[in-house]
Amino acid sequence: MADLPDFQRKQYEFAAHIRDPEHNPAPGSIEDRRMAIYRELFFNNLQKLLSGTFPVLKKLHTDDQWRSMVRQFMVAHHAQTPYFLEIPKEFLAFLQDGYEQTDDDFPFLLELAHYEWAELALTVSEESNDDLDADTAGDLLEGVPVKSNLAWAFAYTYPVHRISESFQPEVPDEQPTFLVIYRTREDDLGFMELNPITARLLELVTENETQSGRALLQSLAAEIAHPDPDVLVAHGAQALGEMRDAEIILGVTRSS
């Protein structure tokens, strides 16, 4: 840094002090009263953004704990984007790769953070279904089901959608929690919990381009060795209908 022009050196000193004022002195030419304005402005804006994106995570921590976590992110993480709405994704990356968890941290911290981030990410996602010409009233068993691009499926070891101040599981569930977060045509956000079989069905729909809903369910019945494939097809048809009602599935591919 000694080889840098004076104004650049001051910029680095200014930024270092804003990120970590405890260990980096402010540029000597700036009055501390003025520096305090910048320190509080930057930190408070960042804390407000992260608190809004991770409301449950914030509620589970004391104010001091949350401020400490935000400060650690500010000090240690080097963001890869200048966009304000991408900062929560950077915070998630910090928690996954840069944050040193302690025995006092919640075992579900990373999964809860991912779930809360996904809600924001889908809300602001520029993905659309404009290129999917689906027949919304088509027969989901005889036609080829079409999944919405605005339906994101995840599997968690903890029931992250139920975690709150009054429910804080200490160990993972025996079975994964399968969740679909989705955005409707009216930009309303929702989620649906799936059982393992329905989650696998949605995965098959996602990967499929040519098989009918009935064929997918018959393949699923064979995959899990279901004793009565016709029963699975009937239940699967109901599940497909419920997912269409939620706009997780848009309908079926239109006949050419």
Residues written for the chain: 256
Assign residue 24 the CATH number of its domain: 1.10.150
Residues in a beta bridge with 164:
167
Measuring CA to CA, which residue among 204, 190, 186 is closest to residue 248?
190
Residues 101, 152: one domain?
Answer: no
The sign of the dihedral angle between the CA atoms of 184, 111, 192, 135 is positive
Residue 60 belongs to some domain of the structure: yes
Residues 97, 158: one domain?
Answer: no
Assign residue 152 the CATH number of its domain: 3.90.930.50
d(CA 118, CA 107): 19
Residue in the block written with tokens 């903890």 = 158
183 Rama class: left (phi>0) / alpha (psi -120 to 50) / beta: beta
Which pLDDT band, with edges at 50, 70 and 90, does 24 fall under?
low
Residue 144 belongs to some domain of the structure: yes
Of 55, 85, 105, the domain-final residue: 105
Q: What is the pTM of this model?
A: 0.89
Work out the number of other CB atoms within 10 angstroms of the CB of residue 105.
15
Cβ proximity of 150 and 122 under 8 Å: yes
Which pLDDT band, with edges at 50, 70 and 90, does 79 fall under?
confident
d(CA 61, CA 248): 34
- pLDDT of amino acid 246: 98
Residues 70, 32: one domain?
Answer: yes
Residues 97, 155: one domain?
Answer: no
Residue 118 belongs to some domain of the structure: no
Q: Structurally, how many domains does the chain consist of?
A: 2
Domain that holds residue 101: 6-105
The sign of the dihedral angle between the CA atoms of 81, 82, 88, 90 is positive
Could you tell me where the DSSP H helices lie in 125-195?
Answer: none
Residue 221 belongs to some domain of the structure: yes
Which pLDDT band, with edges at 50, 70 and 90, does 100 fall under?
confident
For 165-201, how does the pLDDT look when each residue is reduced to its tens digit (9 = 90+)? Answer: 999 999 999 999 999 999 999 999 999 999 999 999 9
